Structure 1
Amino acid sequence: DRCRYTLCCDGALKAVSECLQESESCLVPGDCCRGKSRLTLCSYGEGGNGFQCPKGYRQC
């Protein structure tokens, strides 16, 4: 799968380099992204599970 989003607009918590692209969009509810290393970016939900999820986001 190709990753389409960074973790956040302001550049904080860019945790998965495989997922970073030229146009850095915000994640919106329902979005998620998996890198080659099987780490995931976060999507809107109940909160993180040991990953760098901003408040109000969860792992996919």
Structure 2
Amino acid sequence: MGAQCALRSKLKQTAGQGTTEYAILVGVLVVLAIVAITLFRPKLEELWNAIAEGINGL
């Protein structure tokens, strides 16, 4: 019985650990996306305007 209880406890810890790792990963990706958008904002606006002009020219 003791081994079974220890195994269940270990599985619960592993599942919680995986969820935490995914949450940290998503947080890091969000921060990177915000930084990238902030740094490249002028180029993104230029690209967006070029696309809009191309569509309006059709």
Return the TM-score normalized by structure 2. 0.16
More strand by share: 1
Choose between structure 1 and 2: higher helix proportion: 2
Task: Give the structure-1-normalised TM-score.
Answer: 0.16
